[in-house]
Amino acid sequence: MCKRLRSVRGMPRDTLTREQIVRTAVELLDAEGLEGLNMRALGQRLGSAATAVYWHVQNKDNLVLLATDHVWGELALPDLEAVGWRTAATAMATDLYAMFIRHPWLVQALAAHVLYGEGKARHDDHSFAVYEAAGFTGARADQAAAAVFTYVLGNAAGAAATASLTRRLTRDGAIAEEHFQAAMAEAQQIAMGYPHLRARLETPAATEYTAAADKAFEFGLHALLDGLEQQIAA
Amino acid sequence: MCKRLRSVRGMPRDTLTREQIVRTAVELLDAEGLEGLNMRALGQRLGSAATAVYWHVQNKDNLVLLATDHVWGELALPDLEAVGWRTAATAMATDLYAMFIRHPWLVQALAAHVLYGEGKARHDDHSFAVYEAAGFTGARADQAAAAVFTYVLGNAAGAAATASLTRRLTRDGAIAEEHFQAAMAEAQQIAMGYPHLRARLETPAATEYTAAADKAFEFGLHALLDGLEQQIAA
DNA sequence: CAACTTACTTGAACTAAGTACAAGTCGAGG
DNA sequence: CCTCGACTTGTACTTAGTTCAAGTAAGTTG
């Protein structure tokens, strides 16, 4: 949207930078999702031709990779000495989850490409430290960290799917809303054919379930950390 | 690849069916991944024009959705009475994980779209039954089932990314191999800048870590189920 | 200061892929 | 035999990733 400032006399020309491109790409990704990111739109937002980006970045895949690693930097690393491993672990997982919610496209990116950069390394290192502090040694600490990470990632996948749906709904308006209602009705129809799902739909406390869904992340995280704690004791 | 048989005199014309299209789409997805699926290739594999598919299926998104629900049917539902909840839960999770490994594109599809169909409903229903049998009631059973499901899904995301990489490597040959080696070297470079990651790389038992990575899924699953078991007791 | 070089930008153009559409083909029923 | 409805096809439009040759602006050198 915002055109870059034209250079003032005597100043170096105001060119694009990789940093700026990546930041703008993240903005676009947040707003439009992974399939909403395209080079022409990015160019427009940068106030330059779409193809100008290619001087700074190999290709779109590479750009997504850079964007992915960029957002990793947003994560805070709790002070392990101050709070103890379990609090630190919970904080990191919750923080990570929040980041995935802020950037739902991330999950898709992670499922599509193996990626490793500065930001992820920084996070991994601290994560590893946390589970070592918990009492896991060597490869075991790795497994524990991986378990929590994948748990968070899996939770985020659901959220990403919902985010994509919501975006479509708000973008396409009434037509999409109708489709959505129809899909919901069909889903309900299907669910009624299975005893447990049916019971869930028919319980008077149906709202209890939607409330519980919001708490599902914390619940599972808690259970997982409990389980890990138990492994240490054994 | 295989052209459909031309009709024999007097027999009904041999036309495409939704079933056949979906099955072929799954084949293609397994072989080429989500981004490798395209309508022209699908048409070719079906022995028909790419656009013929559109008579049977709304659009590509819809096709992926159908494919997704189709593979859900592959899952076995363990007999809860016979084996007890924990064994059943482990079996279901492991089976689910194996399915994700067989169909790595599934994870990407799930992260991109909210989807609900017959196959998923069937699985959800049984899963719910398992956690009710474990002692969770109502929304709690839901949360427990969701926790395990998302854990498996998160694990699968990593596998999906690796699968995509492997496919690219085998497809693009030596050029990609070089890229890959370079990326690995860079990753190692980065890791050396962080104390714990560095220690991991420098330990003489480095192979222990790769071996542990394969067992990470079981390890985390075990911990998670332990944690859930503990919740019931409380 | 002019020529040159390097660093970037641009517009045009090629390609792949999703999909609409009009026209065709085939089997069945009247 | 005619025709209707089910299905298929080829053409073509569109969007999006990417390449490339040509352009332009700062800085550098003679």
Instruction: Give per-residue pLDDT as tens, A130-175.
Output: 999 999 988 889 999 999 999 999 999 999 999 888 888 888 777 7
Average pLDDT of every residue of chain A: 89
- pLDDT category, B13, cuts 50, 70, 90? low
Q: Which of B128, B154, B190 sits opposite A117 (nearest CB)?
A: B190
Q: What does the alpha-carbon distance between residue A120 and residue A122 come to, in Å, rounded to a whole number?
A: 5
**Does the beta carbon of B213 lie under 8 angstroms from any beta carbon of chain A?**
yes
A17-40 per-position pLDDT tens digit: 899 999 999 999 999 999 999 999
Tell me what pLDDT residue B12 has.
Answer: 61
Determine if strand C comes within 7 Å of the CB of A21.
no
The CATH number of domain B75-233, selected from 3.30.300.30, 3.30.230.70, 3.40.190.10, 1.10.357.10: 1.10.357.10
pLDDT surpassing 80 at residue A116: yes
Long-range own/partner contacts, residues A36-41 (CB < 8 A, 24 or more apart) = A36/A167, A37/A64, A37/A105
Domains of chain A: which residue ranges? 1-72, 77-233
Tell me what pLDDT residue A12 has.
Answer: 60
Q: Which residue has the higher pLDDT, A195 or A6?
A: A195
B134-147 per-position pLDDT tens digit: 999 888 899 999 99
Tell me what pLDDT residue A95 has.
Answer: 95
Q: What does the alpha-carbon distance between residue A51 and residue B44 come to, in Å, rounded to a whole number?
A: 33
Average pLDDT score over residue span B211-223: 88
CATH architecture of A77-233: Orthogonal Bundle (1.10)
Q: What does the alpha-carbon distance between residue A138 and residue B212 come to, in Å, rounded to a whole number?
A: 10
Tell me what pLDDT residue B9 has.
Answer: 47
Phi, psi values for residue A149, rounded to 5°: -60, -50
Which tokens hold the place of A96? 């990570």
Residue B97 one-letter amino acid: Y
Q: A164 and B112 in contact (C-beta within 8 Å)?
A: yes
Q: A78 and A123 in contact (C-beta within 8 Å)?
A: no
Residue percentage of chain A with pLDDT more than 70: 94
What DSSP string runs through A72-138?
A: HTT-----HHHH-HHHHHHHHHHHHHHHHHH-THHHHHHHH-----HHHHHHHHHHHHHHHHHT--T
Tell me what pLDDT residue B177 has.
Answer: 80
Find residues 51-70 of chain A whose CB sits inside 8 Å of chain B: none
Find residues 136-165 of chain B whose CB sits inside 8 Å of chain A: 138-140, 142-144, 146-158, 160-162, 164-165
Task: Report the gap between the CA of B20 and the closest CA in chain A (Å).
Answer: 23
Q: Which of B149, B157, B226 sits opposite A110 (nearest CB)?
A: B157
Average pLDDT score over residue span A94-114: 94
Q: Among A21, A161, A38, which residue's Cα sits nearest to residue A100?
A: A161
Q: What does the alpha-carbon distance between residue A213 and residue B143 come to, in Å, rounded to a whole number?
A: 7
Average pLDDT score over residue span B127-131: 95
Find residues 4-23 of chain B whose CB sits inside 8 Å of chain A: none
Tell me what pLDDT residue B176 has.
Answer: 75
B1-72, what's its fold?
Answer: Arc Repressor Mutant, subunit A (1.10.10)
What DSSP string runs through chain B?
A: -PPPPPPPTTSPP----HHHHHHHHHHHHHHH-GGG--HHHHHHHHTS-GGGHHHHSS-HHHHHHHHHHHHHTT-----HHHH-HHHHHHHHHHHHHHHHHH-THHHHHHHH-----HHHHHHHHHHHHHHHHTT--THHHHHHHHHHHHHHHHHHHHHHHHHHHHHHHHHHHHHHHHHHHHHHHHHHHHHTTSHHHHHHHHSTTHHHHHHHHHHHHHHHHHHHHHHHHHHHH-
Tell me what pLDDT residue B3 has.
Answer: 43
Determine if strand D comes within 7 Å of the CB of B38.
no
pLDDT surpassing 70 at residue A11: no
Long-range own/partner contacts, residues A88-96 (CB < 8 A, 24 or more apart) = A88/A130, A88/A133, A89/A130, A89/A131, A89/A134, A89/A148, A89/A225, A90/A221, A90/A225, A92/A123, A92/A126, A92/A127, A92/A130, A92/A148, A93/A148, A93/A151, A93/A152, A93/A221, A94/A218, A94/A221, A96/A123, A96/A149, A96/A152
Q: Which residue has the higher pLDDT, B195 or A176?
A: B195
Average pLDDT of every residue of chain B: 89
pLDDT surpassing 60 at residue B7: no
Tell me what pLDDT residue A1 has.
Answer: 40
B76-125 per-position pLDDT tens digit: 999 998 999 999 999 999 999 999 999 999 999 999 998 888 999 999 99
B151-202 per-position pLDDT tens digit: 999 999 999 999 888 888 888 777 778 888 888 888 899 999 999 999 888 8
**Does the beta carbon of A226 lie under 8 angstroms from any beta carbon of chain B?**
yes
Q: Among B151, B97, B86, which residue's Cα sits nearest to residue A216?
A: B151
Residue A105 one-letter amino acid: W
Give the number of other Cβ atoms within 10 Å of residue B58's Cβ.
10
Q: Among A233, A217, A79, A95, which residue's Cα sits nearest to residue A154?
A: A217
Tell me what pLDDT residue A173 has.
Answer: 76
pLDDT surpassing 70 at residue B8: no
Q: What does the alpha-carbon distance between residue A167 and residue A107 come to, in Å, rounded to a whole number?
A: 16
B27-62 per-position pLDDT tens digit: 999 999 999 999 999 999 999 999 999 999 999 999
Nucleotide nearest to B47 (CA to C1'): D8
